[in-house]
A and B are shown apart, each in its own frame.
Chain A
Amino acid sequence: DGGITQSPKYLFRKEGQNVTLSCEQNLNHDAMYWYRQDPGQGLRLIYYSQIVNDFQKGDIAEGYSVSREKKESFPLTVTSAQKNPTAFYLCASSSGVNEQFFGPGTRLTVL
């Protein structure tokens, strides 16, 4: 089945640690995105990539990093510089100006 997978579903991090969230898609989409969602709030764009080996900062990129070495994969690293990383992280992909398809999300908690 075509779709987007994110792993892990739940992730716990100690303060000061970097963690990497996985996002894979087999929809052959060029564009991929990372969003952060806090309780009771909308989605805020962290990073997006419109093509392999290229990505742009979104509205809240500080404390995060990404890579896009393969079309199918767009991992997000939450660094120790991110002061309040506890949130729900959603990955999405799209083709052209069409709708974005979302993965199931990763819930990150800092202990």
Chain B
Amino acid sequence: AQKVTQAQTEISVVEKEDVTLDCVYETRDTTYYLFWYKQPPSGELVFLIRRNSFDEQNEISGRYSWNFQKSTSSFNFTITASQVVDSAVYFCALSEARTGNQFYFGTGTSLTVIP
């Protein structure tokens, strides 16, 4: 069974629009970690954020914000006032305390920001 689901395969928005990337996860562990990564066309994955299961506070970093809701097992990522440089593939990932360092990645959402 897929532990991390990113249902949106591709999204296109016009520059300056807000966009939300969805991530739904599945785990039986009470201690787990959630991550978002950005993969620009160059290919290297860039770490964006890490959240542990005991911290449901939403986080904002500039134009980026994350909404963690345990009740719906979701960890959504919103980009406000999107820019062309935001065009990339975004991956959500889950790590469980039980399995140590092993990551489970979603299939990614390809975001295109149109100027």
Cβ contact within 8 Å between B33 and A104 = no
Q: Check if B69 is an interface residue, CB within 8 A of chain A.
A: no
Can you list, as one digit per residue, whether each of B46-57 has a CB less than 8 Å from chain A (1) or not (0)? 110010000000
> Provided the pairs A43-B91, A88-B43 are in contact, do residues A97 and B101 lie with their beta carbons within 8 angstroms?
yes
Cβ contact within 8 Å between A96 and B105 = no
- Chain A residues with CB under 8 Å of B91's CB are 42-43
Q: How far in angstroms is the closest Cβ of chain B from A52?
A: 15
**Interfacial residues of chain A within 64-98, with CB under 8 A of chain B in the complex:** 88, 90, 92, 94, 96-98
Q: Check if A55 is an interface residue, CB within 8 A of chain B.
A: no
**Interfacial residues of chain A within 10-59, with CB under 8 A of chain B in the complex:** 31, 33, 35, 40-43, 45, 48, 50, 58
Q: Among B42, B97, B108, which residue has its beta carbon within 8 angstroms of that of A42? A: B108
- Chain B residues with CB under 8 Å of A94's CB are 101
> Residues of B at under 8 Å CB distance from A?
33, 35, 37, 42-47, 50, 91, 95, 97, 100-103, 105-108, 110
- Chain A residues with CB under 8 Å of B108's CB are 41-42
Cβ contact within 8 Å between B44 and A104 = yes
Q: Check if A100 is an interface residue, CB within 8 A of chain B.
A: yes
The 6 closest A-B pairs by CB, nearest first: A42-B107, A102-B45, A105-B43, A43-B105, A31-B101, A104-B44
Cβ contact within 8 Å between A42 and B44 = no
For this complex, 24 residue pairs linking A to B, each with C-beta atoms less than 8 Å apart, are: A31-B101, A42-B91, A42-B108, A43-B45, A45-B103, A48-B102, A88-B43, A90-B43, A90-B44, A90-B45, A94-B101, A97-B33, A97-B97, A97-B101, A100-B35, A100-B47, A100-B101, A100-B103, A102-B37, A103-B44, A104-B43, A105-B43, A105-B44, A107-B43
- Chain A residues with CB under 8 Å of B33's CB are 97
Cβ contact within 8 Å between B101 and A99 = no
Q: How far in angstroms is the closest Cβ of chain A from B40?
A: 11
Interface residues contributed by chain A, number (CB under 8 Å): 26
> Residues of A at under 8 Å CB distance from B?
31, 33, 35, 40-43, 45, 48, 50, 58, 88, 90, 92, 94, 96-105, 107
